[in-house]
């Protein structure tokens, strides 16, 4: 039989996964008696955990939320995973740099030496994508207020910093998504009768409305797909509105590391076929030009026309301005 403290930790870890756990299952998982299980459950209750007994043939024990925060118990793997997640949060792409760093420092301070060495050994630095602007800071209180309204399906009123003189916005919040260091709220705008995307770092929530709403079907199926589509200039699907294919006079291995979300396949004689997308045909043609390789074909015709348009622009840029002397 495991010693009491590790056994109690294992029991708590099992119950934290949710649902009702039959006593017989817990007894088998922990290799203990029913009497020991009841004693361990009572111990958890004394520590402040709300462990409810569920009666009936399918009954057992269920861990519910209580009115006070009990001591949080984690096994070694959970602690390392938590510290690593907070370190990522403290990176430049999170928007929660200060709060994440302070939370990680607090946890590290109370860890035993063996665990402190493990998380220190896993220290890494986050590198933002080339060209990305620094992530705007997100107020944790604002994030909590927006998250609460979203979770409780309550109408949210807030001021928006890019329209300082406008009346407070009224929306039905449906989901929060983080992308490239920015936090977005997907919401139905009650005044504009349309789906909108809001930057949470620009929001300043007002007093809670306590007005419930019935969730709507988000275009594309979910909040993440909606955000991905809007950031690509698409209305619904999370795909680029302009997708084209070209053949380049270069092996696939030479451009594969720089594709982004494009795809490439090798062809004969050191050539490759590239499929990529962008928000416009001109933007797609310009991005393909960065590979510095001859283009032997381009589809669809809109992409071929975009190459011709760029060629004319570039040719004009090489002309010498008239002399002023």
User: What is the per-residue pLDDT for 146?
Assistant: 93
Same domain, 169 and 227: yes
Quote the mean pLDDT of the chain: 83
The whole-model pTM stands at: 0.60
- Burial class for 139, CB neighbours closer than 10 Å (0-12, 13-18, 19+): middle
Residue 203, beta-bridge partner list: 160
Same domain, 92 and 55: no
In a domain, 211, yes or no: yes
Same domain, 246 and 226: no
Same domain, 42 and 22: yes
In a domain, 128, yes or no: no
Query: Starting from the edge strand earliest in sequence, which strands make up the sheet with 272-278, in order?
Result: 263-266, 272-278, 242-248, 295-299
Last residue of a domain, one of 25, 43, 64: 64
The pLDDT tens digits of the residues spanning 229-283 come to 888 887 767 788 899 999 999 999 999 888 888 999 999 888 999 999 998 999 9
Q: Which residues contact 157 (CB under 8 A, 6 or more apart)?
A: 168, 169, 170, 205, 206, 207, 209
Antiparallel, parallel or unpaired: β 60-64 and 156-160 = unpaired
> Do residues 277 and 323 touch, judged by C-beta distance below 8 A?
no
Q: How confident is the model at residue 85 (pLDDT cuts 50, 70, 90)?
A: confident
The pLDDT tens digits of the residues spanning 96-139 come to 667 777 777 777 777 778 777 777 766 655 555 555 566 677 88
The domain tally of the chain equals 4
Q: Which residues contact 81 (CB under 8 A, 6 or more apart)?
A: none
In a domain, 90, yes or no: yes
Residue 48 token pair:
């402040």
CATH number of 33's domain: 1.10.10.10
Backbone angles phi, psi at 88, to 5 degrees: -60, -40
In a domain, 161, yes or no: yes
Last residue of a domain, one of 231, 264, 292: 231
In a domain, 216, yes or no: yes
In a domain, 70, yes or no: no
Same domain, 16 and 81: no
Percent of the chain with pLDDT over 90: 38
CATH number of 281's domain: 3.30.70
Same domain, 212 and 262: no
Structural domain boundaries enclosing 279 = 242-316
CA neighbor of 46 nearest in space, from 12, 10, 2 = 12
Last residue of a domain, one of 173, 197, 231: 231
In a domain, 149, yes or no: no
Q: How far is CA 101 from CA 85, 92, 94, 119, 179, in A?
A: 11, 11, 11, 14, 20
User: What is the per-residue pLDDT for 95?
Assistant: 60
In a domain, 169, yes or no: yes
């Amino acid at each position: 039989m495991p010693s009491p403290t590790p056994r109690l930790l294992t029991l708590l870890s099992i119950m934290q996964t949710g649902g009702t756990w039959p006593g017989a299952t817990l007894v088998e998982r922990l290799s203990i008696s029913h009497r020991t299980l009841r004693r361990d459950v009572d111990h958890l209750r004394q520590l402040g955990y709300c462990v409810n007994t569920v009666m009936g043939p399918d009954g057992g024990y269920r861990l519910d939320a209580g009115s006070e925060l009990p001591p949080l118990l984690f096994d070694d793997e959970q602690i390392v995973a938590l510290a690593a997640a907070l370190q990522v949060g403290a990176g430049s792409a999170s928007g929660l740099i200060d709060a994440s760093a302070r939370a990680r420092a607090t946890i590290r301070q109370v860890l035993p030496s063996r665990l402190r060495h493990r998380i220190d050994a896993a220290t890494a630095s986050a590198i933002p994508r080339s060209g990305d602007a620094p992530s705007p800071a997100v107020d944790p209180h604002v994030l909590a207020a927006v998250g609460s309204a979203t979770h409780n399906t309550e109408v949210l009123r807030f001021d928006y910093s890019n329209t300082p003189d406008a009346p407070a916005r009224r929306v039905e919040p449906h989901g929060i998504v983080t992308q490239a260091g920015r936090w977005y709220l997907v919401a139905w705008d009650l005044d504009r009768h349309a789906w909108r995307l809001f930057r949470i770092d620009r929001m300043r929530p007002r007093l809670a409305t306590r007005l419930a709403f019935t969730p709507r079907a988000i275009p594309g199926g979910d909040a993440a797909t909606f955000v991905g589509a809007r950031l690509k200039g698409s209305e619904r699907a999370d795909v680029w509105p302009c997708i084209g294919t070209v053949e380049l006079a270069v092996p696939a291995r030479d451009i594969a590391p720089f594709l982004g979300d494009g795809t490439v396949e090798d062809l004969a004689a050191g050539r490759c076929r590239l499929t990529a997308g962008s928000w416009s045909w001109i933007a797609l043609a310009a991005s393909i030009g960065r590979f510095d390789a001859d283009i032997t074909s381009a589809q669809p015709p809109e992409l071929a026309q975009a190459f011709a348009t760029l060629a004319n622009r570039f040719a004009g840029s090489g002309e010498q301005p008239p002399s002023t002397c």
